[in-house]
Amino acid sequence: MKISTNSNDVIHIHSFYGLSFQTQDGIKIITFAVMDFDSISSAQQRFQKLMNESELENMKTSIGDSSLEKEYNSNGIWSVVAFTKVNCALKMFNQLS
């Protein structure tokens, strides 16, 4: 956790898993992050915060209980998908270094 993280932002998270895959040349990266919250309402509150503080938009075809997406260019670079299912939230994004 970074120093500037407010403890109130993580108090309702039971567990957090993150994983990144990178090509050998280090140019392409895809990252997954999964958070398991203590309740459905905690997951929904975090998801609402993400929606309010980002440029993500509601998905045309929903995933899980709530879902957001953003495609920053037509090649899919810097695309982001985030969704909740019960008390878990998942965020996935790709990038070029």
Structure confidence by residue, pLDDT tens digits, 37-88: 888 888 888 888 888 888 888 888 888 898 998 887 766 567 888 888 888 8
Show Cβ contacts of residue 73 under 8 Å, excluding neighbours closer than 6 positions.
Answer: none
Amino acid at the residue 19: L
85 forms bridges with which residues in the sheet? 88
DSSP reduced 3-state for 52: helix
87 within some domain? yes
Could you give the CA distance from residue 30 to residue 95 in angstroms, rounded to a whole number?
A: 7
Q: How many domains does the chain have?
A: 1
1 within some domain? no
pLDDT (tens digit per residue) in 6-39: 666 667 888 888 998 888 987 888 888 898 988 8
pLDDT, position 87 = 86
33 within some domain? yes
Helix (H), strand (E) at residue 53: helix 40-53
* Residue 1 pLDDT > 60: no
Token digits of residue 43: 């997951």
49 within some domain? yes
24 within some domain? yes
Q: pTM of the full predicted structure? A: 0.71
2 within some domain? no
Beta strands in the chain (DSSP E): 13-22, 28-37, 57-58, 66-70, 80-85, 88-96
- Which range marks the domain in which residue 70 is found? 7-96
